Structures are given as structure tokens and as C-alpha cells.
Structure 1
């Protein structure tokens, strides 16, 4: 007897099917938003690219802003999962793990897709800014603060406000390359270029924050 993709003919779709369709919509919208920007992307374009009915999209995302919010939330979840996977493979003391976290931050802050979303957030700040900035929890920053605190206790970093040190770490490691990428530059597109920059930036951070 064949397996149906729904509970019964005319019945409610399985949860896995619904989630798969939602993911397909989000991934398609992510690609279009990243390629075209917010203003140039319409829900109708997403519908056509997905190959699903307009009602299927609007049931899940009642407006273009809701769709973009879904795209940003999906990117946030994927980014956090990638960070957690990266850090789970790290060994060594707190400073070694902090270095690994900082190197990951550089890479993620010049990722082309995430750069595209940040451009949208800045260029369409009135429309999408509040939606993008609405979350207050930040597990990545929490992990940085924890590692900085552990490194301070071990004597590897100077005593002081851990949150201030974390902000300076972000500034020295990621902000410059991120801004350059947002302006269309490709200086840090390759892993080799990122490594060369990171080694200098990390050394500079330790010169200021090291014990």
C-alpha cells in the first residue's frame, strides 16, 4: 500500500511536509532578497520562484515584511547553530577558545548572504529596522563574555569590564572588514586574506587587553 504525504486524502498535511514547504519558501526568499534587495523583491516573485500557490505563501507570511522577518530569523538560527558547532569542536584553555570564536566572527561578518541582509537592514531601516533589531537575546555574545571572564580568571587577559573587552574584540576583529564588504569590497573574501588580517587584529587586541 503506497505511503501518502498527507494523513488522508483531503486531510491535513503532515507537520514535516508543512515545515519542508516553509523552509523552501524561506530559502527561496533568502536568495532573492540577497540578490535583489528588499525593495526590488516582491512576494509574487517569491511565489513564482518557489513554484507554490500564492495562498501557500501568504498563509505563512502575510506580508513582505513578515517574509523578510522569517528570512532573518532563519539566518539567525542557522548562524547560531554554526557557531555552536564550531565551538563544540574547540579544545584548549579559554583564551584559545576565545581566539577560535573571534576567527569565526570575522568569517561570519563578511559572509556574502549576511552582508546582503545587513545592507537591507541599513538601507530600509524605517521599514525593516525594528523587525531586525527586535531580539534582545544574544547567545554568541553571552559565550564571548563567558570566555573572556574565564580568561581573566586564568590571568590570560587583564581584569576589567568583560562587556567592554568583548565590544573591543568585535571592533578590532570584525567591524572594519564588515564595513568594507558592505561597501562592495572584496579584500577579505578569501580565507587566506581573512587569516592574514585576523593574525594582526588578534595580536593588536592582545596588546591592549592581554595581562
Structure 2
């Protein structure tokens, strides 16, 4: 007799986990991180407190899971672009960044962090370390690979990655923190990514299309 959970039970556990994360996000927005207890979240998600505590024994663990879920990429999205085409590689990475930033609920997640950061600074740290930092690191790895191949000349990959991602997020995402109806179209966002890639190419690339 096997002790492995059945496909049905795994699917049910995944559905309950998703319901808990969605309910927690709604309650954090409505009541604030401090005002949302695990008991209230269980009621909002329509699961028992035992079910919630089994998956998330603390509110901090639940928030960690929320951040991880929102920033999660599929396996193919984690693959580093081929080295040798800086503009094409950055365009691919920039498209992935746009997909993350425009994911449903991402703006809500940032609003929770911004609203509660003064009382719960660990929320900002979690958002940075579990959310943005892994993606930022992947951009830095790509730029280092291009530098090692001799296609770019840059001394500070972290600065270049900050410049690139900042050009994208300043148009695609941050206006949404103040303008709730900010929703640029796909063509406009693609153009921003393309221009950001061109800018880094002009600044750092070695050869006829670069500044070196």
C-alpha cells in the first residue's frame, strides 16, 4: 500500500493553497498586514484553520509564499538568452520582466508592502530578497556572460542591470502606484523594452552598434 498522496489529493491541496494566497492578499489590502489574522484569512479562503496552519504556520510564512508565487517564472523563462546578441538577449529578458510586473495582483502586492513597510519592515525585505532580487541576479548573470564573451565592456553589471530594469519599470509599473487606471498597451510596453535594450547596447556593446 502506497503512502504517496494521490493526484486528487495533491490537486486539492494546490487549490486550497491558491485560495489561501488569494484570500490573504485581499485581506491584507482590506485590513492591512497587521489587521489580518490567520483565522480571518482561513475564513476568507473558506478553509479550516487546521488546513491553513498546516501549510502556513505563521503569517510571515504566508507572505513569503505570496511573494514567491507572484514572482515565480516558468522553467523556460529562467533560461539565460544565448550570448552574442546583446540587444536580442535584453529584449527577451525585458519581455519577461514586463510579464512579471503586469501579472494580476502584482501592483496589489506592492501596495501592501508600501502601506505596511514602516510597521513591518520585514515585508519590504521579503519582497526584495524573494521577489525582485532573483530576477535582478539573472540579468546580472547574463551581462557578465556577455562581458566574458567580449561582446560588452562594463565594469559594473549591477549598475547596468539597474539601469535596464529601471527604464522598463518606470513606464510599465510604477505609474500604477498613483494612477490606478494606468494600463499601457502591449505595443507600447514592447517599445519601451526595445528602447531600453537599444540604450544599453549603445552604452556598453563592443562593435559597430555600441559605444566602444
TM-score, normalised on structure 2? 0.71
Alpha-carbon displacement from aligned partner over 1:83-105 (angstroms, at most 9, x marks no partner): x4125395563522232112211
Q: Please state whether the residue corresponding to 1:172 is helix, strand or coil.
A: helix
Q: Please list, as runs of the form range in 1=range in 2, the aligned pairs for 1:81-120 lying within 5 A after superposition.
A: 81-82=73-74, 84-88=75-79, 90-91=81-82, 93-95=84-86, 96-120=88-112
| Contact kept? 2:83, 2:145, Cα under 8 Å | no
Q: Please list, as runs of the form range in 1=range in 2, the aligned pairs for 1:160-179 lying within 5 A after superposition.
A: 160-179=155-174
Aligned match of 2:17: 26
The match for 1:159 among 136, 154, 171 is: 154
Unaligned runs of 5+ in 1: 8-12
How far, CA to CA, are the matches of 1:101 and 1:162 in structure 2?
A: 15
Q: Please state whether the residue corresponding to 2:179 is helix, strand or coil.
A: coil
How far, CA to CA, are the matches of 2:153 and 2:145 in structure 1?
A: 11
Shift of 1:46: 3.6
| Contact kept? 1:172, 1:205, Cα under 8 Å | no
Aligned match of 1:71: 66
Q: 1:24 to 1:43 in 2, by over 3 A?
A: farther
Q: Please list, as runs of the form range in 1=range in 2, the aligned pairs for 1:1-211 lying within 5 A after superposition.
A: 14=5, 20=11, 22-35=13-26, 37-40=28-31, 43-76=38-71, 79=72, 81-82=73-74, 84-88=75-79, 90-91=81-82, 93-95=84-86, 96-134=88-126, 136=129, 138-210=133-205, 211=210
Shift of 1:39: 4.7
Unaligned runs of 5+ in 2: none
TM-score, normalised on structure 1? 0.72
How far, CA to CA, are the matches of 1:92 and 1:168 in structure 2?
A: 20
Q: Please state whether the residue corresponding to 2:69 is helix, strand or coil.
A: helix
Q: Please state whether the residue corresponding to 1:116 is helix, strand or coil.
A: helix
Question: What is the number of residues matched between the two proteins?
Answer: 198
Q: Quote the RMSD (CA, aligned, Å).
A: 3.4
